[in-house]
Copies of this chain bind each other. A is one copy, B any other.
Amino acid sequence: VRIETICTGDELLTGLTVDTNSQFFQTRLLEVCGATVRRSTTVGDRREDIIEALVEAAARCDAVLVSGGLGPTADDLTAECAAVAAGVALVEHPAVLAHLRERFARRGVTLAENSRRQALVPAGAEVELNLEGSAPLIIQPQGRCTFFFVPGVPREYRHLVERHVVPRLATLLGHSTVRVLRVLKTTGTSESQLDALLAPLSSAHPRLTFGYRTHPPKNHLKLLAEGETREAALAALALAEQAVRQVVGQAIFGADDDTLASVTLQALRARRQRLALAESCTGGLIAAQLTEVAGASDVLWGGAVTYVEAAKTKWAQVPTALLSAFGAVSRACAEAMATGIRAEAGVDWGLSVTGFAGPTGGTAADPVGTVYLGVAGPGGTQVERLHLHGDRERVRRFAAHAALDLLRRTVEGAAP
C-alpha cells in the first residue's frame, strides 16, 4: 500500500512557513498503522501545479493526503483542482452548507458568498464535517487511489487526520485491531538504559510495542497497545504500564500531557507545601516554567533571580563572608541559597541553582558548565554538582531541568 502526501501553499515554498502538519500525520500513521509515507510533494497555489501533482500521485498511490487550499479566498484552489484532476464537476454539498450556515449563525453573521465556496466538493466525493472549522474533510476515490483533502490550519488538520484519516487508513491497511498509545516521560535514564530495562518485558506483553523518543534532557517512552476492542487494548496497556513503572521507577516523572513543572507543582500541592526559588545562572528559567502552569500561585511563593552577589545576600540570606570564602559558584553557596530562600519566604521548600553557564567564566576546578543545585526542605538540605556540556543556552536549560527534577524526586521521596 503506497501512501503519499501533497502540501499546497505558496507560503511553504517561499520560506514564510515550515510545514509541521506532515510530521503529525507521519507520526500517527507510524504509531497507529505501522506505515510510512513514500513521498511528500509541496506545490504552490497554482492551478497547473496542483493538478499535475494530483494526477501524478493518483497514478502511483493507494492513498494520498492533500493539505491546504480549502479556504474561502481566491487562492484556495484545491477542491477545484481535485474536480479537474478527476474529470468531475464541483457540486455544493448540502450537509457542508448547513454546517457553514450554522457556524456563521452562531457568531451572529450571515454566510458570505465567498465562504459558501467551502461547501463545493468534487461530485461523488464523501465528506466528514470539520468540528474545528469550516472546510470539511473531502474523501475522493480516483481509480484505485483514495484522496483525503484536509484544511492546512494546524488545529483543523490534526482534528480531521486523527479522527478520520488515520482510522480509515488503518482499515485500508487491513488493521482490524484497535491501538491505544500512552507516553511515559522519563529523565535521568538514557535510551539504551531504558531499552535494557524493558527488553525482558516484551515476551510477557505480546500486544505491546515499546518505542523511544529523545527530547534532551528527557526521554519519552511510548507504549502502543493493540487489541480487538478498545477495552482490550486499554487493559493490555494498563498491565504493561504497571510493569514498566515497576522496573523504571522514579525516572518516570509523568505521562502524556504532563510537564516536569506541572508534576512538581502537583506533588507539592498534594502535600499542601510551598516553594521558593533562588536562581543565579538559570536566571528565571525555573520560575518561568513553573508559572507557565495556570494556578501555580498556590504552591509557588516566589523566586529570586539573584544575579549579583549583593542580591544573593539580600534575598537568599547568603552571608557575605561565605561568598568571599567560597565564591558564588560553590557547593556552600548553593546550600546557603536553598536554606536562605526557604527561610526568607517562610515556605516548606527552597530550590537553588548557581553555576557557570558560559561562554566565559569558570575556574580550573569548576570550569564552564559546572552547576550546583540545592534543595532545602523539611528533612534538611542537599546539594548536587553537575558538569554540563554545550553552549550557554543548553547549560541553562539542562540546569533548570535537573534542578526541578531533583526537587521532584526529593519531594516524592519525602514522607507524604
Contact = CB atoms under 8 A, between A and B. Distances in A.
A216 interface: no
Contacts of A301: 307-308, 310-311
A300 B291 contact: no
A288 B282 CA distance: 7
Contacts of A295: 360
A13 B38 contact: yes
Contacts of A305: 277, 284, 287, 291, 300, 302-305
5 contacts: A38-B44, A283-B296, A291-B305, A291-B307, A294-B392
A180 interface: no
Nearest to A214: B16
A209 to B, nearest CB: 14
A78 to B, nearest CB: 15
Copies of this protein, total: 2
A234 to B, nearest CB: 24
Instruction: Name which of A15, A39, A41, A279 has the most chain B CB atoms within 10 A of its CB.
Output: A15
Interface string A20-40: 100111110010000011111
A14 interface: yes
Nearest to A274: B308
A218 interface: no
A279 B345 CA distance: 16
A314 interface: yes
A358 B291 CA distance: 11
A162 to B, nearest CB: 14
B294 A283 contact: no
Contact of A296 (B20, B277, B291, B307): B307
Nearest to A359: B294
Instruction: Name which of A307, A310, A315 has the most chain B CB atoms within 10 A of its CB.
Output: A307
A382 interface: no
B284 A288 contact: yes
A13 B38 CA distance: 7
A36 B20 contact: no
Contacts of A37: 13-14
Contacts of A283: 287-288, 290-292, 296, 303
Interface in A105-139: none
Contacts of A358: 294
A354 interface: no
Contact of A285 (B284, B307, B311, B345): B284
A-B complex: 4 closest residue pairs judged by Cβ atoms: A283-B291, A284-B287, A284-B284, A15-B27
Given A287-B305, A304-B315, A308-B297, A13 B42 contact: no
B302 A311 contact: yes
Contact of A20 (B18, B40, B292, B300): B18
Contacts of A344: 314
B290 A288 contact: no
A345 B14 CA distance: 49
Interface string A159-184: 00000000000000000000000000
A75 interface: no
Nearest to A278: B302
B307 A284 contact: no
A332 interface: no
Contact of A302 (B38, B42, B302, B315): B315
